[in-house]
Structure 1
Amino acid sequence: MAKEQSERDAVPFWFDPLCPWAWITSRWLLEVEQVRPVRADWRIMSLAYLNLVQREGKGLSDDYRNMMTQAWGPVRICRAAAEHSGRSVLGPLYTAIGIRFHNQGRHDDPTVITEALAETGLPESLAAAATSTEFDQLIRDSHDEAFNEVGLDVGTPVLRIGGTALFGPVLRRAPRGDAAGRLWDGLVLVAGTDGFFELKRSRDRSVKPSFE
């Protein structure tokens, strides 16, 4: 019999709703929940904080800088939602936002947030958090929990396995079923290896994320 969610090993997963690669990895982690005794523990990081503050905006194009400025909004709303209803709301809200941003391609649609809040049973008033700095310190605290360990030369996704925080896995599409479980098993092996530091290959920039 599968373990109840409360009996499963928590896997902290840091996301920014804007990142398509984190979105794919998050969908893989949900697949892993179906075949391994783990559960996703959703946490937030901020691409805006990482790129504009910690990295001081170095090397950013004007377009990317503008996108990072706009990236504050969704993550602030996620933090406000967690304060309103508890951290357990982050998973459903992330899914509601992510489907609209990534699967439906509605990045510039201002109704995405209000729709996602309504779908998750949250008040529309939380949308006002997008332009407020009220929760920024809490965002930084959550962000720093991951990035103080993995470093500033990576982005999202970040997850923690057995006490070891890792950047990735970065995937073009989310493996399903047994394939999702096998990838998880490999990461557990890597994370549990004493002295493990890095495993990476360069990404072909022509490869685009697939949200199938």
Structure 2
Amino acid sequence: MIVDFWFDPSCPFTWTTSRWLVEAATVRPITIRWRLLSLAALNEHLEVDPEGDTEGYLWYPARICAAVQEGYGTAALGAFYAAFAPRTDWDAAAALAEAGLPVELAEAATSERYDDDVRASTARGIAKVGPHVGTPILAVGDTACFGPVLSRVPEGEAAGRLLDAVLVIAGTPGFHELKGPPPPEV
């Protein structure tokens, strides 16, 4: 089964969800196709950016992701994301090197060359569920949903059961939204 996963490389909740999906792949026969959904592109038409990115810094990692995907494909995109997202220093060159990719791809951060690709990938993800959501978006065939938004990563069979449940819920005609209590203070 192919799972398309749209992510913003700077979103911490999306990072946690991505690690759950990687864990679920250890107990379910899934292949993850990494897709870019940029909150910068999603929100660029708004007067006030809900992410508070007044300087446009969220474009930088999104552009690098687009350059990685264009040149090296979705598996390389996933490898870059795995190396970049947990970093607190946003050192894209180090993350590219860790992912086995050319560090020169970091130059894409300040180039608008990839902006249309970023917007197009974001639009493809949003088209799956509608404009009222952000990231992450998960899709299997025609079944798609925003989320799940997780505060911790389920492990082993619990990760697989959550994937099963998400697909059942998201595939139910008329399903729209499900939320749990806020995460406990850490």
1:85 aligns with 2:92: no
Q: Which of 124, 141, 144 matches 1:145? A: 124
Deviations 1:112-148, CA, capped at 9 Å, x for gaps: 1110111122222111111111111111111111112
Amino acid at match of 1:130: A
Cα RMSD after superposing both structures? 1.9
**Equivalent position of 2:36 in the other structure:** 44
**Equivalent position of 2:82 in the other structure:** 95
CA pair 92-129 structure 1, distance change in 2 beyond 3 A: same
1:18 aligns with 2:10: yes
Query: How much has 1:202 moved relative to structure 2?
Result: 6.4
- Is 1:146–1:165's contact at 8 Å kept on the other side of the alignment? no
Query: How much has 1:33 moved relative to structure 2?
Result: 0.3
- Is 2:68–2:77's contact at 8 Å kept on the other side of the alignment? yes
Query: How much has 1:95 moved relative to structure 2?
Result: 0.2
Aligned with 1:130: secondary structure?
A: helix
What's the % identity of the aligned pairs?
Answer: 47
Q: How many residues align?
A: 186
Query: Which range moved further: 115-124 or 37-46?
Result: 115-124
- C-alpha separation in 1, matches of 2:86 and 2:137: 20
Amino acid at match of 1:15: F
The list of structure 1 runs, each at least 4 consecutive aligned residues, that deviate by more than 3 angstroms after superposition, is 57-61, 201-204
CA pair 127-44 structure 1, distance change in 2 beyond 3 A: same
- Is 2:16–2:150's contact at 8 Å kept on the other side of the alignment? yes
CA pair 47-202 structure 1, distance change in 2 beyond 3 A: farther
- Is 1:32–1:177's contact at 8 Å kept on the other side of the alignment? yes
TM-score between the two structures when normalised by the length of structure 1: 0.81
**Equivalent position of 1:58 in the other structure:** 48
Amino acid at match of 2:71: H
Amino acid at match of 2:47: G
**Equivalent position of 1:190 in the other structure:** 169
- Is 1:162–1:191's contact at 8 Å kept on the other side of the alignment? no
- C-alpha separation in 2, matches of 1:91 and 1:65: 24
1:35 aligns with 2:35: no
Structure that is richer in helix per residue: 1
- C-alpha separation in 2, matches of 1:57 and 1:202: 30
**Equivalent position of 2:101 in the other structure:** 122
